[in-house]
């Protein structure tokens, strides 16, 4: 086997470009330098005046988190693949002889960003980039939520009762190692899905209720461009509707219309939207023990055509990036979901820019 040379690597990278390297498109379209002020403030790395090994560049570390989110990787797997893949190295600006951050360094970067509460600033920074590029929130907004799985906890009924009341179970208090591995914020809930037609062609009398453990991602997207504009993370059992009044509505949208499913239909929400100048297009609920009136049925069907666009956002996050919370606690889960929202907006930005260039 011959010794690989510089031109061999260049030829392989050119081949990757020809095959459609998504990370190369990211580098070409997204200006990652806009994140530097927020990253430097949150990470607060040493300036090197006291000696020691110099820290990795903050933007480089953020780009590693983007890779990790795009591919749903653990810290250890991220370290391995950066060393293994030429496309990852090119995206990060690393050569074959350059030092690569190890799994511990990636973990510490996430920890510092989480502790600094930097994810909101990073999200808003890229949202400003989208607005400057002409992608203003327009034509109203669509609200919805999706469940995000987390590693299941094996707790006793007494421990579950303590957690629901916001208490730390007594058996955990003198065991810090055990406490650090217990997720006290994720919750169990039931995920309802439509029952499938049976082999004999009949439909079951009731839908399926599947136990689910984890968190819930609440988003508001703009109708025109389908970017995530507002978002929030809660435990899985949290009510969808109540989040509408907790900063989930985007007041900068050029239209005042709000679409959402029946989970958001309540008098409190309707009054809130009216007071804030929003026009409700929230689905109406079926009357109790009565058939749905025909005119409401038709109205809901028309709203569904528009509201369904938000489902594409969640489908993209789960099918393309495998959205899953590997961490413990809602603070770190918020960081994970926030990164997923930034990466979704980046991928959407790439798509719209490509469509615009080809038009």
Select from 3.10.20.600, 3.40.50.300, 3.30.420.10, 3.60.40.10 the CATH code of 138-150+214-358: 3.30.420.10
How far apart are the C-alpha atoms of 136 and 126, rounded to whole Å?
12
Buried b (16+ CB within 10 A) or exposed e, 21-35: bebebbeebbebeeb
Residues 6+ apart with CB under 8 A from 195: 203, 204, 206, 207, 208
Residue-range domain boundaries for the chain: 7-116, 138-150+214-358
Answer for the pair 90, 13: CB distance below 8 angstroms, yes or no: yes
In angstroms, rounded to a whole number, what is the distance separating the alpha carbons of residues 358 and 189? 45
Residue linked to tokens 């991602």: 217
Q: What distances in angstroms separate CA 289 from CA 195, 207, 284, one per listed residue?
A: 21, 18, 15
Residue among 215, 211, 280, 208 at smallest CA distance from 244:
280
pLDDT confidence of residue 154 = 84
Nearest to 26 by CA among 68, 66, 69: 66
| CA gap 166, 187 in Å, rounded | 12
Could you tell me which residues are beta bridge partners of residue 197? none
Kindly write down the DSSP assignment for every residue of 200-218, as one continuous string.
TS---SS-EEEEEEEEEEE
Helix, strand, coil % (nearest 5) of the chain? 50, 15, 35
pLDDT at residue 101, as a whole number: 94
d(CA 352, CA 25): 12
For residue 1, the model assigns a pLDDT of 47
For residue 220, the model assigns a pLDDT of 97
pLDDT in tens, the chain (359 residues): 455 555 577 787 788 777 778 899 999 999 999 999 999 999 987 665 665 677 899 999 999 999 999 999 999 999 999 999 899 999 999 988 899 999 999 999 999 999 999 999 999 999 999 999 999 999 999 999 999 999 888 888 888 888 888 888 888 888 888 888 888 899 999 888 776 767 676 766 667 788 899 999 999 999 999 999 999 999 999 999 999 999 999 999 999 999 999 999 999 999 999 999 999 999 999 888 888 899 999 999 999 999 999 999 999 999 888 899 988 899 999 999 999 999 999 999 999 999 988 86
CA angle 356, 358, 359 (to 5 degrees): 65
**Residue that the structure tokens 């040493």 belong to:** 46
CB 343 within 8 Å of CB 66: yes
Dump pLDDT digits (tens) for 62-88: 999 999 999 999 999 999 999 998 999
């Amino acid at each position: 086997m011959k010794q690989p040379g510089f031109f061999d690597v260049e030829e392989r990278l050119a081949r990757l470009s020809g095959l459609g390297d998504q990370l190369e498109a990211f580098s070409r379209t997204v200006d990652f330098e806009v994140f530097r002020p927020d990253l430097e403030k949150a990470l607060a790395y040493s300036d090197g005046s006291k000696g020691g090994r110099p820290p990795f560049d903050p933007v480089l570390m953020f780009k590693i988190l983007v890779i990790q989110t795009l591919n749903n990787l653990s810290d250890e797997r991220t370290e391995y693949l950066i060393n293994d893949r030429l496309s990852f190295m090119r995206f990060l600006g690393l050569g074959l002889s350059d030092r690569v951050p190890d799994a511990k360094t990636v973990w510490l970067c996430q920890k510092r960003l989480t502790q600094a509460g930097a994810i909101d600033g990073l999200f808003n920074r890229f949202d400003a980039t989208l607005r400057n590029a002409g992608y203003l929130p327009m034509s109203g907004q669509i609200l919805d939520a999706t469940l995000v799985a987390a590693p299941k906890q094996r707790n006793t009924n007494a421990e579950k009762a303590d957690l629901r009341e916001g208490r730390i179970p007594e058996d955990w208090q003198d065991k810090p190692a055990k406490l650090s591995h217990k997720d006290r914020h994720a919750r169990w809930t039931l995920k309802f899905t439509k029952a499938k037609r049976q082999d004999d062609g009949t439909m079951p009398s009731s839908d399926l209720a599947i136990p689910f453990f984890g968190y819930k991602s609440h988003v508001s997207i703009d109708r025109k461009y389908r970017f995530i504009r507002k978002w929030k993370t809660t435990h899985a059992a949290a009510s969808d509707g109540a989040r509408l009044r907790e900063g989930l509505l985007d007041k900068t949208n050029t239209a005042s219309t709000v679409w959402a499913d029946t989970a958001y239909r309540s008098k409190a929400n309707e009054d809130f939207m009216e007071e804030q100048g929003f026009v409700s297009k929230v689905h109406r609920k079926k009357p109790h023990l009565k058939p749905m009136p025909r005119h409401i049925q038709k109205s809901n069907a028309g709203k569904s055509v528009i509201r369904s666009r938000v489902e594409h956002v969640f489908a993209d996050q789960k099918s393309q990036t495998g959205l899953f919370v590997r961490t413990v606690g809602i603070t770190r889960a918020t960081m994970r979901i926030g990164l997923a929202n930034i990466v979704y907006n980046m991928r959407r930005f790439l798509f719209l820019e490509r469509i615009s260039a080809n038009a």
